[in-house]
Amino acid sequence: MPELPEVETVVRGLEPVLKGKTIQKIAISWSRTITGEDAVFLRALEGGQVSHVSRRGKYICIYCMDRVFTVHLRMTGKLLLRIEEKERKHLRVEFVFKEGLSLYFVDTRKFGRIQLWPKGVTLLPDLGPEPLEAKTVLRVLRAVESRRAIKTVLLDQKVLAGVGNIYADEALFLAGIHPATPAVEVPLSKRALLSKKIPLILNESIKNKGTTISDYRTSEGTEGGNQFFLKVYGRKGEPCPKCRTPVERTVINQRSSHFCPSCQKPVDNKSIN
DNA sequence: CCTTAGTCCTGCATGC
DNA sequence: TGCATGCAGGACTAAG
């Protein structure tokens, strides 16, 4: 579900509310949500005061005294400040604050993970750079020599941190690149175009508070608005917004991939590198 | 280094 | 209505 824009939206909702609040108690109702020992997690965080909430790639980072823990929402995870009755069934962890509010981790499919990091280690050491600036993305994409499909490269969090299935498809559409094109064969001019489109769509979606297909909600429990602006993702059979050719769906890297067969040719024969 | 398949899970849409 | 199948925004692991 959540990619960078959705996670960023959640963080922006949580930061002003949780900052300065003290965790009184943590109730874990699905233990596997917590990476490591529950007891260690509780001992480190109960009684601690939240100093800051931030984002790195698709991870939410919550700083609590001299400790930090991360939340990854995976497919269906939600971090909510309010909870509806029907969501209680999927409540996995509740953080109760001294000030009289709670933070709820709700996760239907139980793929989400919450992890306490040891003191003194580098957080999330394997993540690539943030993809919100064109010059950063271009620096990364210029260096790619892999023959893996360009879409596979975009989904690799070691290359860029935060791009997921929706925005990879959207960016490749805007740049006119077929998702299965071997990355090394994407001409430099196309890489430059893609480097502009990735930050563009991510920042657009942040403005729209993320894309709600089914599960994603903001910290207030509301839906995002970016789903109305998707050009190809989830639009198999609908006319391409540029040329009216029906959008196609294929599978790349075990992930559904949407593209316009006319605007995104497998072999780029329009440019001469 | 790379790809593929399997795993973790539940719920929903679709087709018979 | 019931039942089987396929599909889902992510990421890790094993095997070849």
DSSP notation for A146-175: --SBHHHHHH-TTTSSS--HHHHHHHHHHH
- Average pLDDT along chain A: 96
Tell me the torsion sign for CA atoms A193, A198, A200, A205: positive
Whether A216 contacts A224, CB under 8 Å: yes
Nearest nt to the CA of A212 via C1' is C9
Mean pLDDT of the region A114-131:
97
The answer to whether residue A239 scores a pLDDT higher than 50 is yes
- For the stretch A142-192, pLDDT in tens is 999 999 999 999 999 999 999 999 999 999 999 999 999 999 999 999 999
Residue-level pLDDT at A46: 98
Helices (H), A19-164: 38-45, 134-142, 150-155
The answer to whether residue A271 scores a pLDDT higher than 90 is no
| A68 CA, C9 C1': Å apart | 26
Residue-level pLDDT at A273: 41
pTM equals: 0.96
| A9 CA, C13 C1': Å apart | 31
Mean pLDDT of the region A111-124:
97
Residue-level pLDDT at A266: 82
Contact residues for strand B with beta carbon within 7 Å: A 32, 89-90, 108-111, 146-149, 152, 253-254
- For the stretch A247-256, pLDDT in tens is 999 999 999 9
Task: State the catalytic residue, choosing from A21, A58, A151, A209.
Answer: A58
Nearest nt to the CA of A89 via C1' is B10
Task: State the catalytic residue, choosing from A3, A6, A8, A170.
Answer: A3
- List bases in chain B with any atom under 7 Å of a protein Cβ: 1-6, 8-11
A3 assigned to active site: yes
What is the SS3 assignment for A190?
Answer: helix
Residue-level pLDDT at A1: 66
Q: Residue A55 corresponds to which tokens in the numbers above?
A: 């984002």
Mean pLDDT of the region A210-235:
96
CA nearest to A60, candidates A131, A108, A126, A123: A123
- Cβ-count burial of A75 within 10 angstroms (0-12 exposed, 13-18 middle, 19+ buried)? middle
Protein residue with the closest CA to the C1' atom of nucleotide C11: A74
| Rounded Cα–Cα distance for residues A66 and A158 (Å) | 27
A255 assigned to active site: yes
Across A15-37, b (16+ Cβ under 10 Å) vs e yields bebbeebebeebebeeeebbeee
Q: Residue A97 corresponds to which tokens in the numbers above?
A: 């604050």
Mean pLDDT of the region A225-229:
97
